Structure 1
Amino acid sequence: MLFGCDFSSAPTARKPIVVAVGESAGPDAVALTGLHRFATLDAWGRWLDSSTPAWVGGFDFPFGLPRELVEHLQWPTAWAALIAHYAGLSRTEIRDTFAAFCAARPVGGKFAHRATDAPAGSSPSMKWVNPPVAYMLHAGVPRLLAAGATLPGLHTGTHNERIALEAYPGLLARELIGRRSYKSDDLARQSPEREAARADLLAALEAGRSRLGLRLQLTAAQSDGLRADAKGDELDAVLCLLQAAWARQRAGSPGPGYGLPGSMDPLEGWIVSA
């Protein structure tokens, strides 16, 4: 099974975690088979744990922190020990620690970055607002570990057929429609222009125009639903699904596998397909 996950560190019924489930439909196509929504972190975690034994999933949250930050804070520099330490902190402790780190640094260089941030165009994984990816790491990674997932290049879990990969929908979206905005949680900003951008993005995905070399197969009803989702959560989950499918095709590639670079820092992690 393949899936992509649009994640929230504080899901609700109105803003749930969304998982797009799919399957290969030939050598160059992925069919969307369903969408799941979870209003709580625990419900999502239970689904992960009880789902089919074998899956490859792309998750829209960071799997690691910048090495520069970790070394400065004198936190563990082995990934498993770092995650155990990080999971034991409260969100308030995370915010205060990271805010103090940023306060001591010059304007323009407040945040530490992972090596993957530049090629992926992603936010630093230590950000606690807009978006709060530091909290997403804190909420998401421990639940992946509880489900026994293997995170290539970082961690071998108790289920070596449950493969979790860090994905980033913005990477694929920008390739296809540039910097056009295609979503908003703000009702007042859910414009016809954004709906048109979603339509163009879906058309490009269905035509297989990205460098991933994969076509997205949708029913007419699925296409209409994705275009109508003004918040873009379902579409983001689908983008992560395609990144997971691309990675599964490269499971046996050199290094960590799954298309991840051999030079990947085993503390920081890497966004798949970046």
Structure 2
Amino acid sequence: MQERRFFGVDFTSAPRRAKPITVAAGGLHGAVVRLHGLTALDSLEAFSAWLAQPGPWLGGFDLPFGLPRELVVQLGWPTDYAALMAHYAALDRADIRARFAAFCDARPAGAKFAHRACDGPAGASPSMKWVNPPVAWMLHAGLPRLIAAGVHLPGLLAGDEARIALEAYPGLLARELIGRRSYKSDTKAAQTPERLIARKDMVDALEQGRTQLGLRLKLSHAQRDELVADASGDRLDAVLALLQATWAAGQPRYGWPEGVDPLEGWIASA
């Protein structure tokens, strides 16, 4: 029987050569996750083609898989997951931004955004946020492609069970490793020695298995250097998503707690 492959995907809604979607591929051997390689996808078309590869594989994708029920109900959108995602994909971003902004404007300061139940435990941005970071656009660009590829979204939408996609959030694991220290920036001037040291500390902790996931990362010297040197943090984020996905694969219901809202979904390892 073919060995299942594991992936971690650091997603961007506007991939290009300078800022691609980054994929970390690995395999599980006992409690050791061996990094097999890193791939850069510089277009959404390349991402769709990559999703079509045959299984068995399981991936953790750093993009939201759902919207807050409170928002969906307020806007009068469909409350069936497949219908909601089709509706959302059909809207253009200007329309989405206007609707989300109006929703926020009608709410009190400090509670502008609606949240999914998983946002709090994961420390994640609300999936309706359209700036800093624009996760609403990541959902808009990525999720329809996952659905079109026919992958299986556990708890949300049935698909090819040889190709399984879970929502991951690297920031959750990063905080466990280094607390609130910053470790990445796309801005050249902010790519400081302190952030370099933070990435080195993260890689050291992952190699030593110092996380609640109970997994140890196995790297070559060249891979370690590559992860530490990448000041954008994209390669390291893909590896963090890989570890979250690999952990979830060994859990009942992929680590989802009881009673997760099938409209909102859940973040692996939250």
- TMscore range, shorter length: over 0.9
Q: TM-score, normalised by structure 2?
A: 0.97
Q: Which residue of 2 aligns with 1:117?
A: 119
Whole-angstrom distance in 1 between the partners of 2:249 and 2:54? 16
Q: How does 1:198-237 map to 2 (within 5 A)?
A: 198-237=199-238
Cα displacement string for residues 97-151 of structure 1 (whole angstroms, at most 9, x for unaligned residues): 1011111111111000000010000000000000000010011111111111111
Instruction: Give the root-mean-square deviation of aligned CA atoms.
Output: 0.7
Where 1:160 maps in the other structure, the secondary structure is strand
Q: Which runs of 5+ in 1 are unaligned?
A: none
**Which of 259, 264, 267 is the aligned partner of 2:263?**
267
Whole-angstrom distance in 1 between the partners of 2:22 and 2:84? 27
After TM superposition, the runs of 4+ consecutive aligned structure 1 residues lying more than 2 A away are none
Query: How big is the shift at 1:53?
Result: 2.1
Q: Which residue of 1 aligns with 2:13?
A: 9
1:98 pairs with 2:94: no
Where 1:44 maps in the other structure, the secondary structure is helix
Whole-angstrom distance in 2 between the partners of 1:152 and 1:216? 25
Q: TM-score, normalised by structure 1?
A: 0.96
Where 2:255 maps in the other structure, the secondary structure is coil
Q: How does 1:27-46 map to 2 (within 5 A)?
A: 27-46=30-49
**Equivalent residue pairs, number:** 266
Query: How big is the shift at 1:160?
Result: 1.3
Whole-angstrom distance in 2 between the partners of 1:47 and 1:6? 14
Letter paired with 1:214: L
Q: Which residue of 2 aligns with 1:166?
A: 167
Q: Which runs of 5+ in 2 are unaligned?
A: none
Q: Which residue of 1 aligns with 2:78?
A: 76
Query: How big is the shift at 1:52?
Result: 2.8
Q: Which residue of 1 aligns with 2:56?
A: 54
Letter paired with 2:49: R
Where 2:222 maps in the other structure, the secondary structure is helix
Letter paired with 1:193: E
Whole-angstrom distance in 2 between the partners of 1:164 and 1:127? 22
Q: Which residue of 1 aligns with 2:194?
A: 193
Q: How does 1:111-190 map to 2 (within 5 A)?
A: 111-157=113-159, 159-190=160-191
Whole-angstrom distance in 2 between the partners of 1:132 and 1:92? 13
Cα displacement string for residues 157-213 of structure 1 (whole angstroms, at most 9, x for unaligned residues): 1x1111100000000000010000000000000011000000000000000010000
Where 1:98 maps in the other structure, the secondary structure is helix
